[in-house]
Amino acid sequence: MAINKGFVPKNVIIDTDMGWDDILSILLLMKDPNVNIIGITVTGCGETHLADGVSIAQSLLKMGNINAPVCAGAASPSEYNHCFPQSFRETMDDVCGLRNILPVVTEPADPRTAWEFIKDALEDEENQTTILSLGGLTNIAKALDLKPKLENIERIVIMGGAIYVDGNVAALNNSQPDWNQGPVYSTNIYAEWNIFLDAAAAKKVLAMPVPITMVPLDACDYVLLEEKYSDLITATDPVAQLAKELIVQKAVGPAKESIPLPIFDPLASLIMAGNLRHTREVSLRVDVVTTDSAVDNNCGQTISTRDENIRTIDVVTGVSNIEFQNAFTNIINLPLNPVPGSIIHKNVGILLFDQIEIQDFAGAFEVLGAARNSDNTAVFNVFTVGQDDSPKKSNAGVPPQNGVQSYINLTPDYTFSNHPAIDILVVVGGQGIDSLVALQEKDPAITNWIQSVSKTAAYVAGICSGVLLLAKAKVLNSLKVTTHHTRFQQLKKMSDDEGLDLTVLDTRNADNYIHQPISKFMTSGGVHCGIALAVHIVELIMGEDASCTLASDVLEYTIPTGIAQVPQGFPAPTAMDPTNFVLGFSHINVIVADMEMMEQATEFYSRVLGFQQAWSLWLPEETCKHFGHDAGFPDGTECKVMVRFLIHPNAQLHLELMLYEEPKGDQTIHYHKTNDVGGIRHVALEVADAEAAYEWLKNQEGVQIIMPLTKGYWNPEKLSPDPQTFFYWLDPYGVQWEFEQGRPMSRVINGIVG
């Protein structure tokens, strides 16, 4: 289910022990348009027994209409035999009493082991793959032993660990008498279960040279399981309803535990998919204690250390509970992916009011009304709803000066009190919006109705000035939105007055609409922008192929693409501003001669500047053909190229190390004087303390300080009366750098010097 043209969902392998929170995570991810589940690997070292976990995973994918392999992994950990209490595992095997509502699967699971599948997937997938670890790390450690293509791992995201807070092994063990497994468990107040189950595997995975994000109890403790989450689930499809029932079972039902429970795995899943923006992350060297003891056991404890032999990983230490709640609600209530070729029927309600814009109305009505199933039945039952059943006069643009305006009477099919359930609510614009918005101060009947319908609708679309009515109803919050270009300022003021935190964008030279994956709400400009939004709704429900066919073959409509921009001066100019072509700084390219220099450069930039290796790969043969053409080499040139990306965790700066095995260029490293004309002379980095950086750098192997004419080393001096301090230096690979301190960035941005 694509959200934006050109958007590529994230490939994800879910490695799970199929506990209650794992199931919630999978239910979320099956609905998340940011995610493409390419497989589930199950470990028996966790909350469920292996065979039950595999069967449950198969049932979940069938319920979500997702065709992906499920592979069984390890039945026991690589060291010791740590396990959850038997009665606890039996409850999880039965999905907290809900196993009987899962669809029956008769097909066998994929015959490959979990680690074989992970290796195969990393070798076969075109795009990089993220591994989401929701249980013990046994399967992933075994997969890494097979030496897969590590450069094809985008990131490993681990729900596990407890850095600065207590663990939960002893807490669970001691919470019920029949769960007590003895002092190995009862005295371990330090470890978190997923790490404790196979501490040796966790230590091995954390040491691997791939990007890793850990979501420990430090972050999970911000988001506790509450019954209210079940009330927030309004979708009626099987996936949403299973999530609802499971939350009830764990929050207040028979499976409720006696200790407060974080929503562990769903939090890690939303972070992995990029649905949470307001997280606190730090880079830490995390080590794992692997020694078991019968008294005061701390096996599985995750420790932040300064040992430079331990590599750094990203650790999430805090999240927003409100943001999690909003993202969870929006995603679990998204429509379920349809079974290919299935027959779909959805109710679309369009709000009618006096002085509605007829083109806004007709555009959305025509697009949605024209969509057809494979049996030629209508996909959407499109009807109109009014506050009452009196005819509503449509208008045709701005009222003319002579006062005589053409109109069409539209009689609502239903009223607020008797309409069918609405799957998709559409609020279009028109000259009557202003009076409606003003009326809501005295009689909020319409905004109350919008609020009520929005709670249960799968999607809510605002077209043209109709977006103002959604804003007045306060259903739009912390979103990017758009409207008719003459209403930008009005919408921004309404957002400020009502505290909605809306970002108003001009989409006329872009997709014509805005729909963020985390939200059911979407907005557009007027007329043809509304048509684009309606086509997008068809795509959400039927898929991209169906929406493109409808647009080209039925509507003869060209789906727009482009870049949204912040309105300049309200309204924004209609001409494309060249500044919008550039979205941001991508990377700095450094050419190395061979693999030895590649490794030396990786070590140098890590040691001297703090860069971390992100990924590397030899470009496939077919890719090299296109690469050579795009790089400007003559036709027929043989290319063999390796690319390695390094990233700086603070500056978010990327270095691209590139090795041309073929064709070879000039193999001599050249330097320029700082005042030579032609080309970029240096790359400047802002530093906190130029003098301290200078004193440290001058002793680093491979660094050549560019000294002034006076002999000996020197200390950087301020450019009085300006406060800047800087110095230049050369690296071994032909790049001249500048370290600078004190630049008044606001003056530079405003073009003011002195």
644 close to 602: Cβ distance less than 8 angstroms: yes
Q: What is the mean pLDDT of residues 81-107?
A: 95
Model pLDDT, residue 615? 83
Domain end position, chosen among 332, 366, 386: 332
pLDDT at 373 over 70: yes
Lookup: tokens for 180? 């007590």
Percent of the chain residues topping a pLDDT of 90:
60
| Shared-domain flag, residues 588 and 687 | no
Model pLDDT, residue 307? 93
Model pLDDT, residue 124? 85
Q: What is the mean pLDDT of residues 694-716?
A: 72
**Stronger pLDDT, 206 or 516, i.e. the higher one:** 206
Answer yes or no: is 514 within a domain: yes
For the domain that residue 108 is a member of, what is the CATH number?
Answer: 3.90.245.10
Q: How many residues does the chain have?
A: 754
pLDDT at 748 over 60: no
Sheet with 356-357: strands ordered across: 356-357, 392-395, 409-410
Model pLDDT, residue 113? 97
Answer yes or no: is 125 within a domain: yes
Model pLDDT, residue 568? 64
658 close to 597: Cβ distance less than 8 angstroms: no
pLDDT at 218 over 70: yes
| Shared-domain flag, residues 50 and 106 | yes
Question: What rounded mean pLDDT belongs to the chain?
Answer: 87
SS3 114: helix
| Shared-domain flag, residues 195 and 140 | yes
What are the pLDDT digits (tens) for 314-348? Answer: 999 999 998 899 899 888 988 787 776 778 899 99
Task: Please state the pTM of the whole predicted model.
Answer: 0.60
Residue 596 pLDDT level (bands cut at 50, 70, 90): very high
Phi/psi of residue 478, nearest 5 degrees? 50, 45
Q: What is the mean pLDDT of residues 635-651?
A: 86
| Shared-domain flag, residues 105 and 183 | yes
- CA dist 474 → 202, 437, 451, 469 (Å): 46, 12, 8, 9
| Shared-domain flag, residues 436 and 560 | yes
Q: In total, how many domains does the chain have?
A: 4
pLDDT at 745 over 70: no
pLDDT at 574 over 90: no
| Shared-domain flag, residues 281 and 380 | no
What single-letter DSSP state applies at residue 8?
Answer: -
| Shared-domain flag, residues 388 and 516 | yes
| Shared-domain flag, residues 209 and 119 | yes
270 close to 324: Cβ distance less than 8 angstroms: yes
| Shared-domain flag, residues 253 and 371 | no
**Stronger pLDDT, 205 or 10, i.e. the higher one:** 205
Kindly report which listed range (117-126, 252-261, 629-638) carries the lowest average pLDDT score: 629-638
Model pLDDT, residue 52? 97
9 close to 253: Cβ distance less than 8 angstroms: no
Lookup: tokens for 500? 């909605």
Residue 308 pLDDT level (bands cut at 50, 70, 90): very high
How many whole angstroms from its chain centre is CA 31? 13
Answer yes or no: is 189 within a domain: yes
What are the pLDDT digits (tens) for 96-110? Answer: 999 999 999 999 999
pLDDT at 721 over 70: no
pLDDT at 711 over 50: no
Answer yes or no: is 83 within a domain: yes
Model pLDDT, residue 722? 58
Model pLDDT, residue 561? 61
pLDDT at 5 over 90: no
Supply angle C-alpha 542, 543, 548, rounded to 5: 100
Query: Alpha-carbon distance 408 to 396, whole Å?
Result: 9
Residue 519 pLDDT level (bands cut at 50, 70, 90): confident
What are the pLDDT digits (tens) for 121-174? Answer: 999 877 789 999 999 999 999 999 999 989 899 999 999 999 999 999 999 999
Domain end position, chosen among 306, 332, 358: 332
| Shared-domain flag, residues 406 and 537 | yes
Residue 680 pLDDT level (bands cut at 50, 70, 90): confident
Query: Alpha-carbon distance 387 to 312, whole Å?
Result: 60
Lookup: tokens for 586? 């991508």
| Shared-domain flag, residues 14 and 151 | yes
pLDDT at 747 over 70: no
pLDDT at 693 over 90: no
| Contacts of 412-417 spanning 24+ positions with Cβ under 8 A | 412/352, 412/384, 412/385, 412/386, 412/388, 413/383, 413/384, 413/385, 414/349, 414/383, 414/384, 414/385, 414/386, 415/385, 415/386, 415/387, 415/388, 415/389, 416/385, 416/386, 416/387, 416/445, 416/449
Phi/psi of residue 554, nearest 5 degrees? -100, -50
Answer yes or no: is 532 within a domain: yes
Q: What is the mean pLDDT of residues 208-232?
A: 92
pLDDT at 529 over 60: yes
Domain end position, chosen among 668, 692, 718: 668
Q: Which residues pair with 481 in a beta bridge?
A: 504
Answer yes or no: is 247 within a domain: yes
For the domain that residue 723 is a member of, what is the CATH number?
Answer: 3.10.180.10
Is residue 100 packed enough to be buried (19+ CB in 10 Å), middle (13-18) or exposed (0-12)?
exposed
For the domain that residue 367 is a member of, what is the CATH number?
Answer: 3.40.50.880
The candidate with the shortest Cα–Cα distance to 521, out of 443, 469, 484, 448, is: 469
Model pLDDT, residue 112? 97
Answer yes or no: is 293 within a domain: yes
| Shared-domain flag, residues 353 and 485 | yes
pLDDT at 708 over 80: no
What are the pLDDT digits (tens) for 178-211? Answer: 999 999 999 999 999 999 999 999 999 999 999 9
Residue 39 pLDDT level (bands cut at 50, 70, 90): very high
Phi/psi of residue 283, nearest 5 degrees? -95, 120
Answer yes or no: is 544 within a domain: yes
Model pLDDT, residue 365? 95
Model pLDDT, residue 421? 94
Model pLDDT, residue 507? 86
Q: DSSP letters along 455-481, please?
A: HH-SEEEEETTHHHHHHHTT---S-EE
Among all chains, which residue has been given the structure tokens 């056991």?
297
Model pLDDT, residue 328? 92
Domain region containing 386: 346-579
What are the pLDDT digits (tens) for 450-463? Answer: 999 999 898 999 99
SS3 195: helix
Q: What is the mean pLDDT of residues 640-662?
A: 87
Is residue 702 packed enough to be buried (19+ CB in 10 Å), middle (13-18) or exposed (0-12)?
middle
Query: Looking at 216-345, which runs of residues are DSSP E strands?
Result: 280-288, 302-305, 312-318
What are the pLDDT digits (tens) for 43-76? Answer: 999 999 999 999 999 999 999 999 999 999 999 9
